[in-house]
Amino acid sequence: MPFSSFGLNDRLNRAIELLNYQQPTPVQEQAIPAIFSGQDLRVTAQTGSGKTAAFLLPILHELVENPTNHHEIRALILSPTRELAKQILDNLKQLGKFTQLKFAMVTGGDSLNKQIAELRRMPDVLVATPGRLMEHIALGQPLAEVDFVVFDEADRMLDMGFAEDVSNIYQACCLQEGHRPQSLLFSATTGGPALKTMVNKVLHQPLQLVINAVQQMSENIRQQIITVDHDQHKEQVLLSLLQQEEYGRALVFTNTRVTAERLYGLLQQQELKAYILHGDKEPAERKNAMRNFKQGQSRVMVATDLAARGLDLDGLDLVINFDMPRRGDEYLHRVGRTGRAGEQGLAISLIDHNSWNLMCSIERYLKQHFERRNLKDLKAKYQGPKKQKASGKAAGKKKKDSGKGKTLAKGKASSTATKPAQKPKTASRGVSAEQLTDEQRSGMVGMKRKPKIGPEL
């Protein structure tokens, strides 16, 4: 199916040709006609599936084909992070290059006064993060004329605590009596109860599209794990991968900002030029890091999940999970940064004994089995738990039988059976006897309290 089959405005087709878009992706094939139908839409599609163009093209077509005399914002696109908002704005400018439409962006970290001045120009399409947009609404920014509202990466907005802001923003778009915007919600995962609640609030009898289910994500992505013994060993493995693996650009994920800073310092010591991205960085620093990384001034970026959200980079063919993500959908978002547009990608997760069970849970979530790998000179002693459950997780140790109420073999009574039961001693720091395990109780029997003779020298 070519893009011409959608019946898009000639100005948009001209931009599509200039961008060398060949064939619509599956999400574009299904979402564009659905949006043209006027229905609210909920789309679940993996990262890098082309969903941004899937909602931008039909919205731009409608705005060009149906101009109005109202000088108000007509389309609102909500994004969880400023980085993703910036990329959406860039896509808007590319696709709308030959139209007369005006675009604007309001995100946290930028001058509020400059944004107010930009909004006075009444852009046709506004891209915004929820927190900053709420500030503009409080200052009187009207949204009652909005015809389209897009909630992009809605699952991430919930993770970042924007549920109430999203609801309030939607209500601000429905203030005009008898007017309700067409709402489009996109997410990479099906989410949980919180996402379902959001859907019920902002979508009306939506058409639901599930494209590129999690089980299909590995078509272009090779997924591996490398076991490690401890933090120092893990750092050595990371350095070896970055120095010896073949890649164009690599993204290293950590779970915390502290770890990201530590790895950044380690790479600097090893004269491996890298950039770092996390929430404590100033907007200008994050912007510069993104620009320089895209321009190829360094091949390595160390980032946390929230900061890296929305990264859309050509040539990103290696993702390393220095820390295993805590949830399957987080893993999906990370790994989805590579293997885009038909290109091959490699995702490597470094696993120690503390993260083995978490890795198994993510395998089960994805219904996949990761390839096991070792580095020749850095092979870990730890190769997974010795005893495993059917799920692959470590088998827990069985509790020892306390032997209470049982007699010894051949009918002989236990030597302790004739002794009167001793009242268990309570542990220090206020722990009750009921809270002690059998092993703790048995270990305390016969213990004598040492006399206090003063501090040891």
Contact (CB, 8 A) for 137 and 169? yes
What the block records as the tokens of 198 is 């959001």
Contacts of 211 (CB under 8 A, 6+ apart): 26, 27, 30, 43, 44, 45, 46, 49
187-196, 200-209, 433-442: range with highest mean pLDDT: 200-209
Predicted pLDDT of residue 278: 85
CA atoms within 13 A on the CB side of 433: 9
CA nearest 335: which of 187, 154, 214?
A: 214
Predicted pLDDT of residue 336: 79
Domain 3-212 -> CATH class: alpha beta
What string of DSSP letters covers 286-347?
A: HHHHHHHHHTTS-SEEEEEHHHHTT---TTEEEEEESS--SSHHHHHHHHTTSS-TT--EEE
- What is the arithmetic mean of pLDDT over 74-93? 94
Contact (CB, 8 A) for 293 and 249? yes
% residues pLDDT > 70 (the chain)? 83
Predicted pLDDT of residue 134: 97
Give me the CATH code for the 215-378 domain, please: 3.40.50.300
Predicted pLDDT of residue 430: 44
Contact (CB, 8 A) for 373 and 336? no
Give the integer Cα–Cα distance in Å for 412 and 74: 88
- What is the arithmetic mean of pLDDT over 403-429? 46
Tell me if residue 44 falls in helix, strand or coil.
strand
Contacts of 371 (CB under 8 A, 6+ apart): 222, 223, 224, 225
pLDDT of residue 313 exceeding 80, the answer is: no
What the block records as the tokens of 237 is 């493995």
Long-range contacts of 376-381 (CB under 8 A, 24+ apart): 377/240, 378/233, 378/236, 378/237, 378/240, 380/226, 380/227, 380/228, 380/229, 380/233, 381/229
- What is the arithmetic mean of pLDDT over 298-325? 82
Q: What is the pTM of this model?
A: 0.69
pLDDT of residue 235 exceeding 90, the answer is: yes
Predicted pLDDT of residue 273: 92
Predicted confidence (pLDDT) per residue in 329-350, tens digit: 788 888 877 877 667 899 999 9
- What is the arithmetic mean of pLDDT over 142-152? 95
Average pLDDT over the chain, rounded to whole? Answer: 84
Predicted confidence (pLDDT) per residue in 21-32, tens digit: 988 998 999 999
**Is there a common fold for 3-212 and 215-378?**
yes
- What is the arithmetic mean of pLDDT over 77-90? 92
> What CA–CA distances, in Å, run from 16 to 315, 323, 427?
21, 39, 73
Per-residue confidence at 102, pLDDT binned at 50, 70, 90? very high
CA nearest 188: which of 319, 34, 43?
A: 43
pLDDT of residue 453 exceeding 70, the answer is: no
Cβ neighbourhood burial of 425 (10 Å; 0-12, 13-18, 19+)? middle
- What is the arithmetic mean of pLDDT over 430-436? 42
Q: Both ends of the chain: CA-CA distance in Å? A: 83
Predicted pLDDT of residue 45: 84
* DSSP annotation of 360: H
Predicted pLDDT of residue 1: 75
pLDDT of residue 425 exceeding 60, the answer is: no
What the block records as the tokens of 171 is 């209500």
Parse the chain into domains and list their residue ranges.
3-212, 215-378
% residues pLDDT > 90 (the chain)? 56
Predicted confidence (pLDDT) per residue in 109-143, tens digit: 889 999 999 999 999 999 999 999 999 999 999 99
